[in-house]
Structure 1
């Protein structure tokens, strides 16, 4: 839907009676998030084309969500205003994903960039149709929000909860605005690394459909279908089960399987299997994961998005051709020690058996991540959050060796 059509939809709500318009206003909410982000990535391999990526920026994210007008079909509108401001960058240190990048490395990142997104929404019973700017979080497509500003899409998304325990989703995406850009563009399939995917064009049509059924409070299963027109089609099945053991203890099982095939203008051919087990007790969480790739290529997903994989982490996705990978993870919530808001996470992943082509040795890689975060719980600084993210990656016979640090200071201010 064009922005003009969205405004027309909004305008139609304004001529409704005051009574019908009451819920539209009374249920609305707005907030602004301040996100200060410092990013440093040092490339450690020999002959790296760039020694480091090092940038600092300030983001402002204004979010507005209206309620719905009264009646059988409720009408509403959402708005998203994004502004990124450069604090420090240079052409030889660009490319962190915080700021738009000058591909010629002459002028460097712009001083600022911005985006306005509008979304019309219709609600009937327990179903909601949204048309306009979207940030889908579904197995088929996971919009990325790991930098200064989030990735957004233009399209339509229908979500339905008409039947108890059953959630249905479906829709079509037309274009994407990447996290370091304010431009709308056609979508691509993720390539690079050693995944072996070759795609000859882009696409302005991504169709998705999915269902998730909650059999019990502890067990849910899901199925998703996705098709990036002309590039790939995909089937995804997943299962999540939480087994209560005793008070404060549980075992979570997360199983995922995906099959991806080409759709005319790529060579996509992949089967991805993943499993993650997490044991939680007294503020501690211990996790172990396994992921396996098979087929002629690695895993396929829209360029710039997150991958629905158990071993998709801070930097790597461990989704290269024929790769087998393991993960060990530990989390601790310091609320168990009387320090709510303070959290810690560390994990280690290793992958091998990566097919690099005839005559080349097997590829290997490993990644180590550590996150420490704190959110102020009370006082004048309540809800101010600070997070430090550290990562180290090393590869054999392909890819980048790098050390990375991210420092993120954030605050969400409710406006009403």
Structure 2
């Protein structure tokens, strides 16, 4: 990996020197970001895990411009370091992944961890290709997770084209992933013990007009699943301060390759037809958001088909050659129900959700925002092959954010989040939890 990064940097540097490199330097940006994060997770059941941990990290980003000419060349570099300030899982548990930091052999958090990544990039007209190991896709079929201290990153290539007005085409091939709380690269998986040989995808966002956008994406995680996504977003602007947003999402996921026949590639998210881990799922959601001045109210419904849970990229089950966990867990999903603790994507689950947000700027306090989320799930099919029982679960999230609007520390932000999750599922399948998070973020632009 280090050799490939060095070769990438050298090649890009040579190309920059041979071309008119004014754009490469003049249009570049560099910044240092810091995040301090306190995490408290209390599993309420007997023998549940109690994790209280504070970590702090730094992130350096250099984003070059492009060399001038028909073909522009650039380079992005990212350096990340995390430090454990104190705490961890109590008692230390080697069988349980720490979701905040890598761990030692006895389950205790490492004192620090770091990684360096880079992407070479080429631009022709309105099309751009990025290749490297610091990719962070934010697409309906794959959302890079950044909910802890350091973000997840992917290795591979992503191509984006905007040659046609109002149409953005995106395609890519990713081969490796490093999780939010890991210092190890691993193959990309969907909950199984082994990573696949590649995650390939392509799709488009078509802005028909300023109010309506249609989306279609196709993804294939080799030996796990093939997935189609359809999306529609429409905003009806009733008055300058009043709007109604409609957001429709549909995922269809089917088994691919070894999934369903090889237990190393089994997908597990509660109940599964035949108990083989074979993927066969439809998930849809509909959300409607009414906005008036600083108020926003979202009401929606989501349905997961009975045959099994929704298929997603999640490396939490990947193990190394000794059968030890790689610590790659953590996933983000392009759904309104993917909140602090739960995602409400189990087999058969019907979820109704409500989200209320308020921007205190309308009361003369710019930078202060709050939100309240409540989701109720029902009709969940039983875990462990049980087909007759149905269960329910719910989660309540509170969030308060504040960003300094002026002064020498302008941009310094604070985020306090609290979640309570309760489930009727057996404790062997899922644990009731109370969780608190507190973030302090700051980004300083070097130039």
For normalisation by structure 1, the TM-score amounts to 0.94
Counterparts of 1:179-190 in structure 2, within 5 Å, are 179-190=180-191
In the aligned structure 1, how far is the partner of 2:56 from the partner of 2:122?
A: 34
Residues 236-268 of structure 1: per-residue CA shift (max 9 Å, x gap) = 000000001122000001100010001022200
Residues 183-213 of structure 1: per-residue CA shift (max 9 Å, x gap) = 11111104xxxxxxxx464213000101010
Structure 2 counterpart SS, 1:10:
helix
| Equivalent position to 2:15, from 5, 9, 13 | 13
Structure 1 counterpart SS, 2:311:
coil
Partner of 2:231: 238
| Equivalent position to 1:278, from 261, 265, 289 | 289
CA positional deviation for 1:91: 4.9
From the superposition, tell whether residues 311 and 359 of structure 1 become closer, same or farther in structure 2 (CA, over 3 Å): closer
In the aligned structure 2, how far is the partner of 1:359 from the partner of 1:320?
A: 13
Structure 2 counterpart SS, 1:392:
strand
Q: Unaligned stretches of 5+ in structure 2?
A: 260-277, 315-329
| Equivalent position to 2:372, from 334, 342, 346 | 346
In the aligned structure 2, how far is the partner of 1:161 from the partner of 1:103?
A: 48
Counterparts of 1:207-356 in structure 2, within 5 Å, are 207-266=200-259, 267-303=278-314, 304-356=330-382
Partner of 1:43: 43
Q: Unaligned stretches of 5+ in structure 1?
A: 191-198
Partner of 1:138: 139
In the aligned structure 1, how far is the partner of 2:171 from the partner of 2:397?
A: 34
Partner of 1:195: none
CA positional deviation for 1:380: 1.9
Partner of 2:197: 204
In the aligned structure 2, how far is the partner of 1:250 from the partner of 1:119?
A: 39
Structure 1 counterpart SS, 2:13:
helix
Structure 1 counterpart SS, 2:312:
coil
For normalisation by structure 2, the TM-score amounts to 0.87
From the superposition, tell whether residues 400 and 333 of structure 1 become closer, same or farther in structure 2 (CA, over 3 Å): same
Contact 2:58 2:82 in 1 (8 A): yes
* C-alpha RMSD over aligned residues: 1.5
In the aligned structure 2, how far is the partner of 1:313 from the partner of 1:157?
A: 27
In the aligned structure 2, how far is the partner of 1:84 from the partner of 1:200?
A: 26
Give the number of aligned pairs: 402
In the aligned structure 2, how far is the partner of 1:347 from the partner of 1:53?
A: 23
CA positional deviation for 1:295: 4.2
Structure 1 counterpart SS, 2:10:
helix
Partner of 2:114: 114
Counterparts of 1:359-370 in structure 2, within 5 Å, are 361-370=389-398
In the aligned structure 2, how far is the partner of 1:119 from the partner of 1:300?
A: 28
From the superposition, tell whether residues 96 and 348 of structure 1 become closer, same or farther in structure 2 (CA, over 3 Å): farther
